[in-house]
Amino acid sequence: MKFEISRHAQEEMDRRGIPRNQVETILQDPQQIVDEYGQKKAYQSIIDMGTGKDYLVRVIVNDSVNPAKVVTVYKTSKIKKYWRQS
């Protein structure tokens, strides 16, 4: 699937220190895809950001448009809050 990264999402990636290649990897092979508000989904993966601590990187995507649009990106240490158990 092809993705377009919005200006806001790129600004948030820069501000939060989340590299573009990491976002692209999550988009191509997420550990989970979770339904979010409206027509958006969170493509998410647990990643060690090089600090020895795991973070959940969430890429919020509107995939009802073509190409799918990345709306925002963020990382959180509150993995249990967002991770869905099967």
CA–CA separation, 36 vs 48, rounded Å? 24
pLDDT in tens, 35-49: 998 889 999 999 987
What average pLDDT does the structure give for the chain? Answer: 94
20, pLDDT greater than 90: yes
Residue 30 amino acid letter: P
